Amino acid sequence: MNTEKIKVRVTQSGQTMEVVVLSKRATGITVVLGEGANCVKCDLTPTRNGLAYAGSVMGREIVYERSRDQVQADIDRLNPTMHKSRLR
């Protein structure tokens, strides 16, 4: 199984870090920071303008700088069998 990793930016320091993705939907992304007993889960939700995803871990804000449309395109590209059902 391939574990997907994404790069997020810590807004306070400007550093970027790679985190492991647990679940990825256009409505939100769940990521894990750290490894082993020191890991922390974080839910990233779309910002109001839909141009990024933001969340808070241990009082620090992290941002994934991809739009909602870009994330949906990534999901469709990685798993083409999960297309939305069409109304008839």
How do residues 39-59 score in pLDDT, each as one tens digit? 999 999 999 999 999 999 999
Assess if residue 18 is contained within a domain.
yes
The range of the structural domain enclosing residue 65 comes to 5-80
Q: What is residue 46's three-state secondary structure?
A: strand
Q: How far apart are CA 59 and CA 12, in angstroms?
A: 10
In a domain, 57, yes or no: yes
* 34 lies in some domain: yes
Q: Exposed, middle or buried, 23 (CB in 10 Å: 0-12/13-18/19+)?
A: exposed
Q: Which H/E stretch holds residue 75?
A: helix 68-78
Number of domains in the chain: 1
Q: Is 49 a member of any domain?
A: yes
pLDDT given at position 78: 79
Q: What is the pLDDT of residue 1?
A: 58
Res 55: pLDDT? 97
